[in-house]
Amino acid sequence: MSSRKLEYGRGDAIAERYEVIDLLDESPLGISYRCKHLKTGNYVRLQLLRPRTAGPDQKDEILAVYKRAKEINHANLIRIGELGEADGVAFYTMEDFEGTTLREYLTQARLENRPLDLKEAAQIAIGVLEGVAAANDAGVVFRALRPEYVLVNIRQAGPRRQNSVAQIKLVGAAFWDLVPGALLAEDEFGRGEAQYLAPELKGFEPVATPRSDVYSAAVMFYEMLVGAAPVGTFQLPRTRRPELPVHVDGIAELALATAPEDRYPTAHDLVVDLQRTFSETADGDASTGGRLSPIAMGLGLALVVLVAVIVFNLRPDPAAQAEALDSQARATAAAGLTLPSPEEFKAVLARHPRNMVYVPAGPFVKGRLHGESRELTREGEPLAELVNVPGFLIDAFEFPNLRGEVPRIQVTRAEAAGLCQAEGKRLCTSDEWEKACKGPKNLNYAYGDTYDEEFCGPGLEAAYAAGGRPDCKSGYGVLDLSGNFGEWTSTQVPGKDRYIVKGGLKANPERGTRCAQATDLSAGLADATTTFRCCRDADAAPVPPAAPPAAPAP
């Protein structure tokens, strides 16, 4: 077939035998999904290969890398299933490993203000390196090693479940050979995260060796320890975390050397050094030799009792824990958001239509915060998830975006999109809408963290003209987001002709006017509870200012 379809929605069938359950990842290789085999009921991961790198002309190369990947058997490499073709696109299946990506794991740890200890970081890094070593020994160099392509399953074991056991799987072994080096580098730079790519792979003539994979794995180990990947002339780990052993700095210097010849020759060599660090940590201060005296033992026992009393009396307060997690999430988002100067704001606004508000690029906290009541949240709503959104402009009011005008209702999603397009704009995404509502401080409601009907009124029971409640305004200056009507967005429910609607919920305004609140409606629905507003990319082509209304005839 010639359609070469890559994008599928939930419930679609690939090759008439794999039902799509979830979208997993998009990379230079292609798009991967979690699927259910229609006959056996088994779940698999399915990777569709991009035709530009693995098209009909590359059949021999595809078959060769498939055989190579199939032959490499190792506990830290994801097992390969079948090779097939669907709608003109080659695909291969993999085992359905139950876990998350290392990127998601690190993000959650950061939100919880829980830095990985050396033991856990070393254990994960060793798992990565053992998979790398197995591939390298078979003549395969990954080149594309980054947290998104490392799957982790962390379980608790041992007495009182105090020990973490990490199971690691790497995806893409051998198949990365299909992706040209230039395209791989372009993707890394496009993500703004080229720090995982070894220096020798960023030039015009990239040459990949096992030392390139050592570098990428070392970047991830560094990030696990200090919370950020090394960039440029980086600080040694102990500068960021003084409690780490001296040996860790030596590992970082050697593994992250700019010149390949200055690094560990193989992944095996780095594993040996990490295992040494791991055992030194487990041994604690055993190198000091002597035993404790009876007096010291007595003092130690007294200290243990004292600590136990303190811990008993300071048991975690769930509300305090939630507040701490929310504060950390908000602080992380604020650190990644740079507000332009007033002059820069004016310069951006001058290029766009009137009555639009500029929301600068940066992260926001999507979904419900930890401290919000579960009674006010919908099932499946994400929990304090950091999402990065490019800069955009959003209408200050609901359509027609004029203060004092009654918002236009009874419009379908397509009609709303058409009206925005006619003005040189587009419908907002649900993430853009939510970020504009939460403002720079990532509040629960546009005006604060606690519901107050005095600001925006009791939802849809008391609709009002645009801007009729001037205090119903977000930190960015957008009005009526936590009041008045529900609003169409451009975000589609995967696999369905339904779209996300943000804001207003008539039956429960306390819940329905939360910035994170979302429902989905059929695209063809037009009712008296739904309106819309428009958005525009910050770098969209300038629009000449609207001409002032003509003076009335004398």
Strands (E), 352-416: 356-359, 362-366, 385-389, 392-395
* Tens-place pLDDT, residues 514-523: 899 888 788 8
Residue 278 included in any domain? yes
More confident residue, 502 or 156: 502
Average pLDDT over residues 492-506: 82
More confident residue, 551 or 174: 174
* Tens-place pLDDT, residues 66-111: 999 999 989 899 999 999 999 889 999 999 988 889 999 998 888 8
CATH number, domain at 57?
Answer: 3.30.200.20
Residue 292's pLDDT is 36
Residue 137 included in any domain? yes
Task: Examine the domain organization and report whether 90 and 112 are in the same domain.
Answer: no
Task: Examine the domain organization and report whether 400 and 343 are in the same domain.
Answer: yes
CATH number, domain at 511?
Answer: 3.90.1580.10
* Tens-place pLDDT, residues 260-276: 888 888 998 888 888 87
Smallest CA-to-CA distance from 355 within 398, 399, 402 is with 402
Task: Examine the domain organization and report whether 384 and 513 are in the same domain.
Answer: yes
Among residues 29, 60, 95, the one where a domain terminates is 95
More confident residue, 464 or 131: 131
What span, in angstroms and rounded, lies between the C-alpha atoms of 28 and 172? Answer: 11
- Count of domains observed in the chain: 3
Task: Examine the domain organization and report whether 353 and 470 are in the same domain.
Answer: yes
Residue 122 included in any domain? yes
Contact yes or no for 336/311 (Cβ under 8 A): no
Give the pLDDT band of residue 2 (cuts 50, 70, 90).
very low
* Tens-place pLDDT, residues 5-57: 788 989 999 999 999 999 998 888 889 999 999 999 999 999 999 888 888 88
Task: Examine the domain organization and report whether 157 and 77 are in the same domain.
Answer: no
Q: Using DSSP, state whether 417 is helix, strand or coil.
A: helix
Task: Examine the domain organization and report whether 517 and 403 are in the same domain.
Answer: yes
Looking up tokens 């078979």, which residue turns up?
138
> Is pLDDT above 80 for 365?
yes
> Is pLDDT above 60 for 546?
no
> Is pLDDT above 50 for 300?
no
Average pLDDT over residues 428-432: 95
Residue 286's pLDDT is 34
Domain limits at 507?
A: 319-537
Among residues 95, 125, 154, the one where a domain terminates is 95
> Is pLDDT above 80 for 284?
no
Task: Examine the domain organization and report whether 127 and 213 are in the same domain.
Answer: yes
Residue 220's pLDDT is 95
The CA–CA distances, whole Å, from 490 to 80, 291, 475, 487 equal 37, 68, 23, 10
Residue 437 included in any domain? yes
What is the distance in angstroms between the CA of the first residue and the CA of the last residue of the chain?
69
pTM of the entire predicted model: 0.52
Residue 85's pLDDT is 92
* Tens-place pLDDT, residues 185-202: 666 655 555 688 898 888
Average pLDDT over residues 221-250: 88
Residue 528's pLDDT is 79
> Is pLDDT above 50 for 291?
no
Task: Examine the domain organization and report whether 362 and 479 are in the same domain.
Answer: yes
* Tens-place pLDDT, residues 397-417: 999 999 989 899 889 999 999
Give the pLDDT band of residue 490 (cuts 50, 70, 90).
very high
> Is pLDDT above 60 for 304?
no
Residue 261's pLDDT is 87
Count CB neighbours of 71 within 10 A: 11
Task: Examine the domain organization and report whether 65 and 182 are in the same domain.
Answer: no
Task: Examine the domain organization and report whether 434 and 520 are in the same domain.
Answer: yes
Residue 249 included in any domain? yes
The CA–CA distances, whole Å, from 444 to 398, 461, 503 equal 20, 21, 12
Task: Examine the domain organization and report whether 159 and 218 are in the same domain.
Answer: yes
Residue 6 included in any domain? no
Residue 450's pLDDT is 86
Q: What's at 42, amino acid-wise?
A: N
Q: What percent of the chain has pLDDT over 90?
A: 36
Residue 308 included in any domain? no
Residue 443 included in any domain? yes
Task: Examine the domain organization and report whether 396 and 532 are in the same domain.
Answer: yes
CATH number, domain at 162?
Answer: 1.10.510.10
